[in-house]
Chain A
Amino acid sequence: MKKVITLFLAAVMLFSCAVSAAAYDNAELFAGLDTEYYTRFKDAGISINVYNWGEYISNGEDDSLDVNKAFEELTGIEVNYTFYATNEELYAKLRAGGASYDVIIPSEYMIARMAKEGMLEEINLDNIPNFANIDPSLVDMPYDPGNKYSVPYTWGTVVLVYNTWLVSEDTDVETWGLLWNEKYKNNILMFNNPRDAYGIALKKIGFELNPENTEQIEKATLALKEQKPVVQAYVMDEIFDKMGAGEAAIAPYYAGDAITMMDENPDLAAAFPREGTNIFVDGMCIPKGAKQKEAAEMYINFMCEPEVGAANCEYIGYSTPNLASMELLDEEITSNPIAYPPVEVIENATYYELLPDELNKAMDDGWKSLLADDENFTFWLVPAILLLSVLSSISIVVRKAIRKRRQYY
């Protein structure tokens, strides 16, 4: 009996393998593509290193398209895919050197910063025919004039996520002031990164999203300090857990992730503050020193294929800049006002601009003083303490040695 079952199981497994192999031919996807273009490097044994955000590509889970695998199958180029958590982490990694990447996907303010510091390779748009699919309203933006360095991958806005169960109906949710509302003391989450937190604080006190001088930053720091008593926690990805469980009532976050949260917890809703919000674009770039520039451009072009772009956006929940992909997406997705907000919201939204070094520094200093109670000490205090520490360490060692020698005699 046992044997029969094993045989049966083996047969089932074989059969299912055959089925999945047949289904996984991607023939349908490849049919409309320019195979001549994509198979140029077929037998060259090339591999490219792609460095992207975590959970930021359709990866074959839940019957989605495995984009990297399809690319490998089509072009014969191997994809080494790794990921990072923040723009700053990506920047630090590239600045430190040692690692070589061919495609990276930073946000627009980081693209501007990297381009300014000469960390990006110019992209040859002739090699990316699918660039024509990109929404003209997202092309040639101030962060990258003429799209010399980047091809938009996704875009989105920052929204206020709130729990309809915990936030009373008469509360005005369409304002950043909601995050300062005493009524929700200890029920408010805030961004745990200075740029986003300062953007909100600046907007709340009536300035622009991009600070113009250190004075504005100081005022924003004061506003954030004033907010601190009502904030439950400063979070990034922990927000999924906390908002999902109803642990907090209000939080600002990225629209794409807000949609993911709302899918998981139907009590959640999102609103656009009328002061105006931040609009961001994550763009595909090629870092300086990339070894396989043409293959990288091919990868970028592949990501702009209508089907691929649609699969990605369906999976990650962010908005697509690809008009051809948008046509393929479900009505349900494209009509979602959080992912594709009305024109007024977009017009009222601002991009982050590249800040001069002194403003970046002022922002970081303010952020640190916000999270760590600031107390003033004199200039020489720490060097003196450290010197004292070293001296006393040495004296202890010396004393020990002397005592040891005494024992000999």
Chain B
Amino acid sequence: MTDATTSTQTVTTTAALPPSDSDVPPGTEDRRPTARPRGRQVRAKVGSVLKHAGLIAFGFVMLYPLLWMVASSFKPNALIFREPGLIPTDIDLSNYTDGWNALLHPFSHYLINSAIIVLGSVLGNLLSCSLAAYAFARLEFKGKRLWFAVMLMSIMLPIHVVIVPQYVLFSQLEWINTFLPLIVPKLLATDAFFIFLMVQFFRGIPRELDEAATLDGANHLRIYLQLMLPLSMPALATTAIFTFIWTWNDFFSQLIFLTRPEMYTVPIALRTFVDSTGNSSWGSLFAMSIVSLIPVFIAFLFGQKYLVKGIATTGIK
């Protein structure tokens, strides 16, 4: 492996190209410069068709439950369980309109609340976790291994036993029923998952790069800002995507820390469609679940573009 690292480091033409988000980023498409003979081409084509067929079939299996949910969201409440087939007999949009207005506030209210928390959390995690990760990945300091262990330990305790002390703490700070208990911890890098994630990615960046930068007089802040962050786009994108999705879906802490209906978020709102002791609006639940999937899905589509902007496309070859 080490002989590979000593190979050429040049700025190639791809650096001048805009980072691509298409399926086949230019410059990375063809690793084998020689053209294939025709027979192999045909075989490759057949192989590719088979591959796609397999991937599509697999995709259907993956998606079946979601398709069922979409289908059910167009059925009247009473028919969801009586006629559980995939194709609704008649399309009924009332679950969407009813569900949207069923709670004290229109559903958009909860979407906005969730969006605020998600935005704060994403920014917080990106900043605070990457800072901490840089320290663990690149700096030598006393007790590094111990602190690293402490960091990992902090995600090994189930939330159910820390939520009560947390509630006491936040209620002493008068933070209950605000978004602060949900956002401030992210600004303080309490999501150790992402620190560890970024440590792993930072360590994957050749150390020669920052050593060279150090020789050029760059300090750690500059290396962090101008070298590590740009070269870790996949890790940052992963962090952003996951923070988005997990915060968006996080039910328990939002339930506990937000007490007033005007502060409620999407997961709490969704739960209120179903009550195991009384009447449930399954149709509305499915409809609003789909509505609430849209933002996360868009976030994922958007975020995954950045997954391809790794070291491979930023110019180092």
B is a partner of A: no
Interfacial residues, chain B to chain A (CB-CB below 8 A): none
